[in-house]
Amino acid sequence: MTNIEKFETLTKKNFNLWAPTYDKGLLYKLYFQKLYQKILFGFEEYGRENIKLGSKVLDIACGTGEMLRHITTRFGEVEAIGLDLSEEMIKEANE
């Protein structure tokens, strides 16, 4: 197994374990929530003119789908597509 494969396997394992509490922990509240708010602000500025009904939005490394939920709530009928290495993150996103 190459170093990249080892890193991918370890990363996937850790995020699978983290998935159930990812959006509930202290790290989320202190760091990720603020980061997401900044990203969403930028997305709002860009999106006002560029995101129309029926647009497709791709979130790579979507985690639990938090960003996509905000985007679909704000912009209505857009096709939200989330990709993530972690199957457990995707399960959380689909709930």
pLDDT band at residue 60 under the 50/70/90 scheme: very high
pLDDT at 76 over 90: no
pLDDT at 5 over 80: yes
For residue 29, what pLDDT is reported? 84
pLDDT (tens digit per residue) in 7-38: 999 999 999 999 999 988 888 888 888 888 88
pLDDT at 39 over 80: yes
pTM score of the predicted model: 0.80
54-93 burial, b if ≥16 CB within 10 A, otherwise e? Answer: eeebebeebbbbbbbebbeeebeebebebebebebbbebb
